[in-house]
Structure 1
């Protein structure tokens, strides 16, 4: 029996040693607001975490915490990573209105094209104009989603600009809410995670989101009218930040910093944008299979919406000028970057 006990203890010791040997040198906590099955968590953040682990030889472990599991509201994420409460975050920049004003250029009406092209354009814009706004973060990348469109309840399809009058529509950010108001709707701000309950309780008549997020928040079921636009430009897009705490990054040895650096930047923006575009195809297919009403406004009607959105752009440029920023330059650069990547 004594030999058996000794052998068992030795075996346990070897197991513990092996476990210790396999333990990561660095564990990074990644916090974000969407459920794990949503497009970016499942198709971008998890693969990124797996790649970091593989390329670091298991020395970096990224723990993913979806749906605000570590506490707080989505708007708190930028401070959580800045203050070191977590090591990494992925979030909607517009959830903190007014904090990163120059980034709002990409939220302006009919600015964007595809998720991939606009994400690369947004990264180039970040490189030129946004580094000061994000100086408190180690930015891994920034990106956008694909074309944003309108989704409304069964009794209120949007077939023209006049259809917007009196509708209560959830918006994603300050700029998008201003756009909805300029187009005749009553904007209601809330995180995307609050949309299903708000639709089911008739708090809102609809929402703006891209196709990719619709499956995870039951849009095809709750808001079966989907209105999009003619031409290459989508109604709007949201902007996203994937960032790391600066101290967490600085504490890494040089070889592990290189692993993070290799998986950051412009090409990561492209990857995230493409993931969004692929998610759009999946979300749209679900709505089509459900027999929902997909409305595409023609060129003439789309032109009316673009005209209605011009005041939002003009007011944003004036607001930037009042802040001592060159609103016209920022807007023109945003347009130029998007056009360059969308050819």
Structure 2
């Protein structure tokens, strides 16, 4: 990257995400076209490109935060975004593999303002499509021809192991009444922090960054990922369904031990005790129960604590970013993405 490029106007976070989607989507579509037809139909639907009959819809594949981080990390260490394009595609495939499986496990019926893949094609088909995406992600890296492809594959593999461990803990928490905050934070570090850390690290790796830069940008992504999970958990309770595309009180309906919920349950307050009784009752939670549960999380301090922790993690992420000695323009845009991811409405 040249000094002239560094002097170009810094883009806003939304402009960066549009740039990322525009740049990554052709390569992502090309990768998906390599899947078996049975998997390709479901994947095309999940990404919003096709309807349930396989007809083009003109939709997009999501916010593309993770591939944006990968491409910007390559620029941050002095390379060009194109150097990390295969890595960005692999990261996005892994992310969507996890979404397909998450929707099945959570029984969520809506994603991105349309029925989830499992609710249209069936549970087994959605699981298989997710598996196919994961295999494709590794294949994309293997075919990249990049000298660091093997190391990148190990990075992706390690992040998937962390993601799966975090998801397993998240599911186990639903059956337990004694989850503490340290356990819950550790779960989120794996479930979300691992892949965002990988997205930044693999971008720096494919961009030719030093070992220190790769490590610091990984730290940036991991801290951002945990902050992102705090924000996501807040949206899982108080997000507007018309904006998030997910059902109202989705996490509470599934009695998920999300970060604000666990904070409330461990608060020692009267509201926390009432929430515990409601959350562990035998009957399904009615709409009024769900509304009351949301109020109790807020009254017990879970909402305020979660937002404060997200802000602290954003500060930590920025420290890692500074320590990576990034190029100024990429640094400013990574910072803008971090701010957006921590304070968002969907």
Check whether TM > 0.5. no
Structure with bigger RCO (C-alpha 8 Å, 6+ apart): 1
Higher share in strand: 1
TM norm structure 1: 0.29
TM norm structure 2: 0.29
Higher share in helix: 2
Larger radius of gyration: 1
